[in-house]
Structure 1
């Protein structure tokens, strides 16, 4: 059975509603899934929810709900946002599902039987917010980092995973494969951690303290630590223990944000190694969104609600901004001014005007039928062709497979800019007044329409609604893939649809379309 392309997001914690960070990682995964499907690949795109743990139990108690009722409500909020963002996942797993519990207990039993788990008393510092034990090595200037929230000292007996026994293997694995965990600064961070002894991982919580979790199959007095439980979703969803598992595992890409790098870059690989399972082929940890110099947080009151932007600008504009601006290696400022500038400059002015002008001029000068390009060979034609070839190559060879979305879109907008200059250089409105320039006008219009079609194909993974609108205005049912298989779908004689503005400008003061 041929293996398909398997991409995951983290499963998101349901102590509250989804926010910009959740939306961003999920959009990135959706773009890659759409890109792979466009190329004809078999794809499994997984997202879902992490529904166990102390924070969920406490959030439910505060609301006077059972933990499951709280989780059901939060699941509806996440799924509603994914629908609004045109996220098309193949599975939406919840860790409260029986299929997940079965996989978690199977892995726990396997590790227990192999002597990889042991019980001991433990006294240490515990982060309530992160739901993990922390060490004083993680303090900065004598203080706990803010993302740990309240840190308290706890003494209790728990089950531990012999994670330290796999430290040397993991360090060598990271050194041997520079592309396994990206970007490089994340890999270097893990290597620095592994240069010091790591502790074994506490994988349980006493059921008397935390009732909301998966019981250990060999000791029902304990439930599974939420991170151990959550990470197993990556194998429970594709059917661990079933024949279909080999169709998808190992995952081709775990897509995460940098704040959960350690669980994905240390806990998860060592868990898999101990269980005798293959490693994911790549773990990609992108940066954070900042407001000014601060990480978004409810405490600071600077969290962006995606629904606000969807209502004002639409899903595609939001998806475009996330993919154009969010960086892999560094953090990025999110500002409304920056969003509005991208919307008006890139989408309304550059892309929208180009597509509208190309289709409108075919209607105005050729009755809506695409003319044949029988001319060619001018420096302007040759340069447009050169940029087109370069952009297609970079997009498919260098950027999209590497999830370098900002660079991919930068390349696409290089083509948008070149096509807009092509319009100005050739001035079809002047050619239309000269009967002797009829063949030249035909060629210019034909090239512009093909460029519009190519842009629709290139942008389809990022902006599916916009691509569908471009296709409708070109009177096409869809676009061929823009790779080496590209064939112009708007041949001579093809009748175009009517032009409609793709992105009406939004006034900065009113925040409404104008």
Structure 2
């Protein structure tokens, strides 16, 4: 974190203008925006690129089918992408289009440099060509002798004159790059796939076409007007033409890229062709090429025919843009396929954003108002809460690496550890009791501890949820910028004296009423999914003993693995358990089950627990939850999952 003049370049793939933006496009772009916002927050000189890929036979055919020119068709779709990213407040520095004249000139200059170097030659190509993927395949790669191995559509045999790039020349250099830079492709499992493919042998790459003319023409010096450049050569060059390559090169100082984001379906183009082109151009290679997985919908592949395609704009409008951003990053580890479900989205909003974050802020607003007229001072935090501050600093120590290693879900998990410390501290120290005992300084120190934890979390959550987090920072009386990042995160300092201000609840609870429809209820039937605010101390049990859904949803039930178990001395009923709850791997629960279970019966087994029960002391020991069991005339039986389940899985 020392070099604040460091240049950071973040890119998305440029999106092909054959259809409107879908959730996969939004996922990639949101990740890139988070990386760019974080880099700027740290103080790095950051350039963030996105845009659209507009050439090729597929675009020409789609435009013809709609009775439009390719340029008019591309203008419309590209404009829709840009409009969506602007509505999503994506902080790109440049939106490039491959139809930009500056881009075309840059691509032509790159072509001439590779040609003059001897890396491009003229020949003839015959092979099985997939128009949809703009790619040639060998016969042995085809599905049932004719289907494209990537999209399944029928290929066609094409024979034409072509210019070739000497990809085979760079096979050994590519393998050397992969070996010497183990994190050049992320996640690392994807790197292994690429290495195996390259070790199988590379053939020279056809990089021009004569069967259509919607593309970048060859340089005039080539005197060969019937050829246009292969769409992938054209498209990949955008990452440097956007910085001015071939047009003054005013921003080439940002190259090489820190992170280039792609979907896993286009990883080979970016991890093999692109670095080979860069080697030919004598340019350095990117630090990381990061490939994310695909999204399904409720376990099924999305398709228009099924009517289950998720429209990112409609979801963001229904549930809030920041909540949507958080869900996309938190739900699935980067590189793995993810499943989008309304239930999972609502659960994360209600539990993690509503309870863990939003309710914590509400409690602190209430306490600071009651105890100190909203004035908070950090002067006694280290006196009474040295242990908690040490725990917080340990979490913060290595958090930047998670960002640039693309472990974004882990990054958020680490931040939620801090929120757990804050929520747990309130239960452990009971500031309301200290006020009654006249220990006002201790109560206010606890409030200040939580305010500082919230402030540190807010700084690091800002790139993920900028709009909601700005409101939290305003409520806590500070601003999120590079200075606050350095003060609170790098230097591990505490806030100066501050004044808390009231704000409306940031994440009102969402009541869910699922419909028997594959379409998101909040999108097509918004009246079926409404937000409610559960007020503090509001009665949630009716006179006849029935509870509402809000009361039930406030109870967090989880699967936990018993790590340690021992008898409680001088007790005939109690066992002391240490359980793994996923994000918290060493939670202590005192359970009254000694008459029916021995410690050896429990270690390594799984139980179901109430995870958000207010901590209590039993025989002087803290119990942070409750084990669920059923008891009848035959004895007591623990409630357990029927098969091994990931620790921390929520019971719904």
TM bin, normalised by shorter chain, reads over 0.9
Matched residue SS, 2:490: coil
1:306 and 2:324 matched: no
Q: Which residue is 1:104 aligned to?
A: 107
CA-CA distance at 1:292 after TM superposition: 5.0
Aligned to 1:487, the other structure's residue is in SS state coil
Secondary structure at the aligned position of 1:250 is classed as coil
Residues 442-453 of structure 1 mapped to structure 2, 5 A cutoff: 442-453=444-455
Displacement of 1:136: 3.2
Show CA shifts across 1:173-192 (max 9, x none).
Answer: 21222111121211111111
> In the alignment, what sits opposite 1:385?
389
Report deviation, 1:73. Answer: 1.6
Deviation at 1:452, TM superposition (A): 1.7
8 Å contact 1:370–1:496 — kept in the other structure? yes
Corresponding residue to 1:513 among 518, 531, 534: 531
**Alignment partners' CA distance in 1, 2:245 and 2:367:** 56
The CA distance in 1 between the partners of 2:274 and 2:229, in whole Å, is: 15
Q: 1:65 and 1:205 mapped to 2: Cα distance?
A: 22
Alignment correspondent of 2:41? 38
Distance in structure 2 (CA, Å) of the matches to 1:454 and 1:168:
46
Distance change >3 Å, CA 138–CA 301, structure 1 → 2: farther
Query: Which residue is 1:210 aligned to?
Result: 212
Which residue of the partner structure matches residue 283 of structure 1? 289
TM-score by length of 1: 0.93
For 1:28 and 1:99, the matched residues in 2 are separated by 27
Offset at 1:275?
Answer: 2.0
Report how far residue 457 of structure 1 moved.
0.5
C-alpha distance in structure 2 between counterparts of 1:137 and 1:321, whole Å: 41
Residue 295 of structure 1 deviates from its aligned partner by 4.0
Given the superposition, is the C-alpha separation of residues 375 and 91 from structure 1 closer, same or farther in structure 2, using an over 3 Å criterion?
Answer: closer
In structure 2, C-alpha distance between the alignment counterparts of 1:362 and 1:144, rounded to whole Å: 64
Matched, 1:224 2:224: no
| Deviation of the 1:385 alpha carbon | 1.7
Q: Which moved more, 1:49-58 or 1:231-240?
A: 49-58
Distance in 1 between the 2:94 and 2:327 partners? 25
Count of paired positions: 506
Aligned residue for 2:173?
169
1:322 aligned to 322, 328, 333, which one?
328
1:368 corresponds to: 374
Q: Contact 2:260 / 2:290 at 8 angstroms: preserved in 1?
A: yes
- Relative distance call for 1:243 and 1:93 in structure 2 (3 A) is closer
SS of match in other structure, 2:95: strand
Partner of 1:357: 363
Conservation of the 8 A alpha-carbon contact between 2:382 and 2:389: no
| TM-fit CA distance, 1:255 | 1.1
RMSD: 2.0
Deviation string for 1:153-175 (max 9, x for gaps)? 21222221111121122122212
Pick the aligned partner of 1:425 from 419, 428, 432: 428
Question: Which among 404, 408, 417 is matched to residue 405 of structure 1?
Answer: 408
The CA distance in 2 between the partners of 1:284 and 1:138, in whole Å, is 25
Residue 47 of structure 2 aligns to a residue whose secondary structure is: strand
1:497 paired residue number: 501
1:147 alignment partner, SS class: coil
Could you say which structure has the greater relative contact order, defined with CA pairs below 8 angstroms and 6 or more residues apart?
A: 1
> Which residue of 1 is the match for residue 271 of structure 2?
265
Distance 1:284 1:469 in 2: 32
Q: Distance in 1 between matches of 2:452 and 2:251?
A: 42
Runs of 4+ with deviation above 6 angstroms: none
Q: Is the strand fraction higher in 1 or 2? A: 2
User: Is the 8 Å Cα contact of residues 358 and 452 (structure 1) preserved in structure 2?
Assistant: no
Map Cα deviations across residues 366-407 of structure 1 (whole Å, 9 max, x no partner): 1111145436555xx3442233112211322x3123221100
Q: Give the drift of 1:267.
A: 0.8
Query: Given the superposition, is the C-alpha separation of residues 298 and 131 from structure 1 closer, same or farther in structure 2, using an over 3 Å criterion?
Result: farther
**What secondary structure does 1:10 align onto?**
coil
Match of 2:479 among 440, 457, 477: 477
Q: Any unmatched runs of 5+ in structure 2?
A: 514-527, 533-652
Q: Which residue of 2 aligns with 1:464?
A: 466
Q: Is the 8 A contact 1:287 1:326 kept in 2?
A: no
Contact 2:368 2:447 survives alignment (8 Å):
yes
Secondary structure, in 3 states, of the residue corresponding to 1:220? coil
- Residue 146 of structure 1 deviates from its aligned partner by 5.3
Question: Would you say the 8 A contact 1:287–1:327 is kept in 2?
Answer: no
Q: Which moves more between the two structures, 384-393 or 144-153?
A: 144-153
Structure 2 length normalisation: TM-score? 0.74
Q: 1:313 to 1:193 in 2, by over 3 A?
A: same
User: After alignment, is 260-269 or 480-489 more displaced?
Assistant: 480-489
* 41-50 or 480-489, which deviates more: 480-489
**Structure 1 CA distance for aligned equivalents of residues 49 and 249 of structure 2:** 18
Residue 117 of structure 2 corresponds to: 114
> Is the Cα–Cα contact under 8 Å of residues 57 and 212 in structure 2 kept in the other structure?
yes
From the two aligned structures, give the one with the greater helix fraction.
1
| Compared CA separation, residues 212 and 31, structure 1 to 2 (3 A) | same
Q: Which residue of 1 aligns with 2:58?
A: 55
Instruction: Report the alpha carbon displacement of residue 497 of structure 1 after superposing the two structures with TM.
Output: 1.6
What is aligned with 1:233?
A: 238
Question: Residue 126 of structure 1: CA displacement?
Answer: 0.8
Query: Residues 375 and 178 from structure 1, CA distance in 2 versus in 1: closer, same or farther, beyond 3 angstroms?
Result: closer
- Of 189, 192, 215, 2:193 maps to 189
Distance 1:360 1:327, change over 3 A: same
Is structure 2 residue 23 aligned with structure 1 residue 12? no
